[in-house]
Each structure stands twice: as structure tokens, then as C-alpha cells.
Amino acid sequence: MISPAKLSAAVPEINRELFARLGVSFASREELAASLPFSLHDVTAGSESELQAVVCGAKDDVDLPLIIEQSNYFANIVKRAAAGETPQRVVADLERFLADNPSRVWENSWVRFPARNLSRYAQEVLETDLLADKKNPAAGKRVDVTRFTFRDEAGEEMLRLPISYLIKLALADLIGSQQILPDIIRQAGIRLLEHFLNDNTSPETFSFNVVALTPGGGMGRAIAKETAIRFLMTQLLVMYANQAFGISDRGQQAMVYFAPHPPIRQKELNDHVPDSFYRELFMSPCLSGWDKGEDKFRYMQLCHQVLSRSQLNAVAKLRDAGIIQTNLVVLPNLSNISLANNGTHISIGSRCLTQALASGGPGFTAGHEKHLGDLAIKITEHFLPLFVGTYTAAPYRQAFTDFHPEKALGFLPHELDYTHLRMIWRRWKKKADLSIFGQPITPFGPQALDRLVSSVFRLKGDFVPDYRLIDYLVCLLSTERSPGLNGQPGNSDRLRRDLADMGVFDEQMSVYLLYKQREFAKMGFSGFEGRYYSLFGTFGEDMARAADLQTLITALAYQYMALGMTHANIPDIPSVESERRQIFFGAAIGIPTFYVHRHSSNSFLDYILKKTDGIRSSRRYPGYLRVQIHEYRRALLQVIREDAGILIDLMGLHDTLDDLERRLNEPDCYSAAGRLTAGILGEVNASSPMRVNAREFNTGAERFYRTTLRNQHLAEAFTFLLQDCRLLDREQSSLDESQRNALRAILHGHDAGSFVESATEDVMHERADIATLQRLMNLVLFKVCHDEAATREETGKQRRYADDAAPVYRAG
């Protein structure tokens, strides 16, 4: 470690000059840490949540089975089967899917209800969203407008809409159906309409307000609370829509909740229909969030087509890697379902980076932002195994019949090089105990034969703690000629072109990364988006702690750069990129070890490995070191405590690191994977994931997410709201006149806290009436408005603080 006296001289001139332009002081380690990007009082945060949507009801009442039965596709295959042109099995499989659904749960179905049930304002919002170009009404309606309306048997005009859009329409109806609504609440509601996206298959929401991550505000707890209350608002809107739009009266109940995997039944349906019909059923029409929704809809269709093609191209890579050694393979479905997975993205921004870029001066440009940002991503990727299973998870059981490499390895052939891919596959097969009399074996192909082999030889498959990270394309491996993170402007464009030529990706799509830079020129702020989160078990502990650690590691990455780390320390070579990412994917699968070349050119990884216990030379792979993932994660924690000590003190994150240590050392009790798995096992009444068959475990997981976990999330969100409302009750005298009037109009003279307390039980048991739901949602909108004003005030204080402190930093 560099002493404070030698600090300034030890740092390369180019690093010191660049960071000095950002106001970073090199006078001492304390001043350096305090003035870094993403350090104390510099961080803002937002999040995006992807939710699972379902409609509960009988087959004759719910849109999904009805639209399948009424489709041209279904009529055509029935006709062709009768003529002997199509196997009867094709029709039988689809009919069985429709008839055999004892749970009466239809994942990602749309809903149907009378158009007359909308308020005038909601009708206006819908009419606007049905325009081909919202900025040019003269262009007329979307070409596909007839998808969203039909007439029932009585001749009444009906709407059919995805739940992701229903949520926005419910908010519009809330605003339009109340004759007396305080203006500040009305304006807050109108602003939030665009925060409910009709983007992909799943409903997506993003932060109502950007929050500051400060010790006084609880650091990551601030974004966890915002996310929880946004989840609560979403639940209330769906409950409101079920009643106010007459959805429940027609035998349907819409629901949304957190769940990480594409539903099992949707996967099974995907096996029975072609990709074009799958897109017709499940790709959302992008009514909300974009001026030209049809263009966005075509883009999402492109994404689905590209990922489906990529999945097929991965088979060729597995053959080239030597994992598939014969021409006998089970081809993946031509329709890939991975876009139906759900995660949470946490974005953090740096005020000092944003202000430096907003000034438009030559001192710190987009080129500098890119140079530092790419290196920060490479540094951060080494720490990402700390997040997998500890804060989020996606527990999943794989049957023996799932262990065809072309299916089990998912998109890994596009994410890792052949060497690490072979290593992971060998270790995964060993973990799953796929052997007969000591000889490794994988499924043969015919389902009946594979089931027989599984039964006779007791081959149960495996349990994976975070299968979402394997089943989805979460990042792309650079090519030899187009490194994606070398700090050079335009590198993503060059990589996209290379990957498009290889049939892996498309130039129109944004490059997938685990940790993605959010550039000021595109986003209006400078920061990073964490895209590696699957399912949080809790908001206040799991999500809050994860946001803490993400912030701390990002600040530490900038500290390393300020102290002299350069791109040369982490070379931009695909094998080096794959080398660090294999640890992340290994943790997601749950394999215990990984291998690093003894003479790796990644000096930062070498630095971490020097602190890692239990390393030995590999007997299987000469020239490689065998490293235990558990010991590597313990070493990462040690590195953070040693190298980020001052940052930890500044941000008050000692408890977060102590909590992380417990999660690492006692995962069954404290990690997200351990707790979520325990909840699922309680649902299926089993003592271990391997003591229940794969389908039963996975459908049990879906029930757990839909019932128990949804209620736990809802109860936690109410706790956050109740705390805020009690604080609001105590501080009413500090509110301005318009705010006090708004509260009186909402609460009719009652305290906010007591009202929330009395309404909680009715909402939790799904028996709250429309009036109660309206008052609760009005109160949430008031809180959003109030918090927005508080954030503006806090931002102003931080800017004044930065302006006062900046001359000192520059002088240093």
C-alpha cells in the first residue's frame, strides 16, 4: 500500500491529472476516498423491476386459452391433422395444454373487459397510446389497432390488453375517475404514467424518483424502499383494475409478482407452437413508453428472433469445443423463451461525473467517461461472484433429461471461450453425478429412453442456485479483433458488427453486459447499471445490502484507477475476459471450483488469488491452478476490507460487510439462495431439492413466488409505507399549504399512519374496496410528490457542498 506522503508521486501523471479534473484530491488517502466518484454524498440510484404477470380463471374466461383456440394457427393444424398432413400429436399436445390446468393460472395472458368501464381520461390515454406516432397524431392509428378491441356475443365493445399496459391504464383511470383530486396528486399521477412500461413479455416499472444513497438515508435502503413502495403501488393498481374495469366480474383475476424464471407451462407451450405464433401470444405490443410503439414492438420481435438464432448457433460452438462429439443432438426450440425471465436492475449515478460532463468543457469528456467506465466494469466483474446466490437467486431443478449440453449450457457458448466452457461442463456433470458405474453419461435424446435410464440408475439431475443467469444471455464475449471493454469510443459498435457476422447478435441490439455503463450523452447521467440480479427475497435486507455493495465496489474501482490501475492490468483478450467471468457463471451453477492459468496476464486477478486460500496446481489441467469459489469469495471480502477501508468508514458499511460474511459462511441460513430454497421446499413439503422431481420443484417454486413470497413482499412494502406515513404525521407542520390540503382531502382528517395500518389487512387479504384502494394510491402518489421535493432540496445541498469543496480538491 502507498503511504500518504508518497501518494501523489506514486500515481501516474495521466491518472492524477484526469481525476484532479473531477475534483479528486491526492493530498491524503482520506481526502482521496472522500472525493472519488461514487463515494460519500456523490451517489444517486434508481431501479427497474421486471414482474411476472398471470391471469387466474377458467379456460373459457381467460384470454390466452381463448385466443389460442380462436387462432388461425389452431384451426390450420386441426385441419392439416385431419387431412393427415400433420401428426395428430401436434393437436393433442396443444389441446392437452389448454385442458389440463388444474391451477387455473395462465401465465402472461392478457385480460378482457368492457371499454365502457374506463374513465374519460383513461380512454384519452388509451387513444393516444394507440397512435402510430404520439408526437404526430395526424399519422393516425397503429396498423395493429384491431388486436386490442373486439365485440362480445352481445355486441358490446371489449378491450383486450396485456397486464403490463393494464397497470398504466389503471393509474390513468385512478386520476380520471375522481372528481375532486388535489392538483399535486394529479400531476404526480400523470408523471408516473410513463414509469409503467409495456415493453417485453413481463410488466416493467422503473423508479418513481431517483434517490440519494447517503449514510443518513441508510445508503442502499433508500432504493430498496423506493422499489418496495413502487411494488406496492403496482399491486394496488392491479387490484383496482380487477374491480373498477369489471375484470373479476368476468371470471378473471390479474396478478403480478416477482419470479425469475419463464413459467414452466409457458415453456411447454413454446414446445408446441412455432416461433411466430409464440411472439403473437407473448410479445407485448409496446403501447407505453415510446412515441412509435410499433417500431419498438418490431425491435422486441427482432430480439426474440436473434436470441432464438443464437441458441441454434451455440450448438455449432459446442461441437467445435468438443463438448458435442457426435451428430446426435437435441436441437433447441426455434423459439427461445429466455426473454420471459425477470430480474431487477439497480443503476447508480455519480454526481461529480455527471456535473463534469454536463459542463461541456474539455477537461472531462465522453471519451474520458468511456475510458474510465470500461475499466471500472472490468474491475467490478471480478467481484460479481459475491452477489450470486447471496443477495439474489433463481433456484431451479434440472432433471437428468435436461442435461443435453445443447440445452443445459444455454447461451454460455457465446459468453465463455472453449477452454472455460469445457471446464465448466465437466465440473457440472461431476456435481450432478451424471455417471453409470463411474462412466460419465448424458441423455440420449428420446424422452422415453432418457426417463427409463434416469429411473433405473437413479440419475436425478441437479439443483442450480441461480439458473436465470445460465438460461439468459447476460453478457457477450468479445472477439479477438473487437474487444468490448478496452475504453475506446465505438468499441461496442465494432463488437456488434463482429457478432452479427457470426450469427450471434444483431447490430440493432444493445450489447449485453453484466455491469453496463450508463453514458451521460444517452441517459442524462453518468453511472452504471447492475444487470446480474435475479430474485430478491427481501427489499430491506437483500436489495439494500446489494445496492450498498454495488456502490462500494464501484467506488473502489475508481480508487484503483486513481491510484494507477490501467487497462493494461486487465488485458482486453477474450480468454482473459472469459477467465474472470467463468467464476461468476460457476457460482450461478453451484460448482465448487474453477481453473486459472498459472501465467494469466490478468494482474488484478493474480492480486486477488494471492489472498485466496486452498489453491493448488491442477492435476487434470497442467499449467492451471485449481481455485475454490468459496475461498475466492472470501478473498474478495478480504480485499474489500483492506483496500476500501476508508470508503467503508465514510459510507458506514461495516454492517453490510459483516452481513455479507455471514451469507458467505452460512449460506443455508443467511443467503438469498438458501432462504428462497427453504421457502420452496416448504411449499413442496420436501427436505431437499434433490428429494423431489424437477417439475414438481419448479412448479412449487412458481406457487411460492405467486403466494407466500408475494405476500411477504407486500407486507414489507406496507411496513416501509407505514414508517414513512408516521414520520409524515409528525412533520405535518413543516408541509406547505398545498401539501396539507392534499393530505386532508385524502385522509378526511385521519392520520396517515393509522389509515395505512387499518387498510393493510384488507389489501393483504384481497378484500379492499375501490374507495380504500383509491385513498391508498392517492397517499402513495402524495408520498412520491413529497419525496421528489425532498430529493430536489437534497440535490441542491449536495451541489452547494460540491461547489464549496471543489477548490480544495483542485488545489490538492
Range of the domain at 265: 52-294+707-797
Secondary structure (3-state) at 675: helix
* CB-based burial label for 674 (10 Å; 0-12, 13-18, 19+): buried
On whether residue 736 sits in a domain, the answer given is yes
pLDDT tens per residue across span 387-436: 999 999 999 999 998 888 888 998 999 999 999 999 999 999 999 988 88
**Residue 297 confidence (pLDDT):** 92
Distances (CA, A) of 103 to 57, 265, 700, 706: 9, 11, 11, 12
Q: Does the structure show a pLDDT above 80 at 327?
A: no
In this prediction, residue 309 has a pLDDT band, given cuts at 50, 70 and 90, of confident
Question: Does 366 map to a domain?
Answer: no
Q: Percent of the chain scored above 70 by pLDDT?
A: 95
Phi, psi of 570 (to 5 degrees): -130, 85
Please give the pLDDT value at position 805: 39
Q: Which residue has cell 496476464?
A: 601
Give first-to-last CA distance, the chain, whole Å.
20
**Predicted local confidence at residue 332, as pLDDT:** 67
Rounded CA separation 768/758 (Å): 11
Q: Is 794 left (phi over 0), alpha (psi -120 to 50) or beta?
A: alpha
Q: Which three cell numbers stand for residue 458?
A: 437413479
Q: What is the mean pLDDT of the chain?
A: 92
Average pLDDT over residues 583-598: 97
C-alpha cell at 571: 488485458
With cut-offs at 50, 70 and 90, classify the pLDDT of residue 328: low
CA separation for the pair 209, 622 (Å, rounded): 53
| 262, part of any domain | yes
Is residue 694 in some structural domain?
Answer: no
**Which one, of 184, 173, 61, 68, lies nearest residue 115 by Cα?**
173
Least confident of 56-70, 283-297, 503-517, 784-798: 784-798
Transcribe 159-225 into DSSP letters: EEEEHHHHHHHHHHHHHHT-SS--HHHHHHHHHHGGGEE--SSS-EEE-SS-EE--GGGTTTHHHHH
Q: Above 70 in pLDDT, residue 801?
A: no
Give the pLDDT band of residue 754 (cuts 50, 70, 90): very high
Residue 111 DSSP SS3: strand
Whether residue 539 contacts residue 227, with contact meaning beta carbons closer than 8 Å, is answered with yes
Give the up-direction half-sphere exposure of residue 761: CA atoms within 13 A in the CB hemisphere.
3
- For residue 189, which of 637, 774, 581 has the smallest C-alpha distance? 774
Question: Partners of 168 in the beta sheet?
Answer: none
Q: Which long-range contacts (CB under 8 A, 24 or more apart) does 181-186 make?
A: 181/745, 181/778, 182/738, 182/741, 182/742, 182/745, 182/746, 183/738, 184/738, 184/739, 184/742, 184/782, 184/785, 185/742, 185/746, 185/778, 185/781, 185/782, 185/785
In a domain, 532, yes or no: no
* Amino acid (1-letter code) at residue 295: D
Q: What whole-number distance in Å separates Cα of residue 305 and Cα of residue 760?
A: 44
Higher pLDDT, 258 or 733: 258
Q: Residue 100 has what pLDDT?
A: 93
700 located within any domain:
no
Q: What span, in angstroms and rounded, lies between the C-alpha atoms of 289 and 280?
A: 20
For residues 633 and 362, the model is more confident at 633
The total number of structural domains that make up the chain = 1
Q: With 0-12 CB in 10 A as exposed, 13-18 as middle and 19+ as buried, what is 617?
A: exposed
* Residue the block writes with cell 453409470: 436
- Report how far residue 232's alpha carbon sits from residue 721's, in angstroms, rounded to the nearest whole number: 9
Helix (H, G, I), strand (E, B) or coil at 464: strand
* 470-507 pLDDT per residue, tens: 999 999 999 999 999 999 999 999 999 999 988 888 88
Helix/strand/coil percent split, the chain, to 5: 55, 10, 30
Say if residue 629 is exposed, middle or buried (CB neighbours under 10 Å; 0-12, 13-18, 19+).
buried
Q: Which of 210, 172, 176 is nearest to 192 (CA)?
A: 172
Residue 744 domain-assigned (yes or no) = yes
- CA dist 137 and 154 (Å) reads 32
C-alpha cell at 170: 389503471
Would the pTM count as exceeding 0.85?
A: yes
What is the spatial distance between Cα 57 and Cα 255, in angstroms, rounded to a whole number? 11
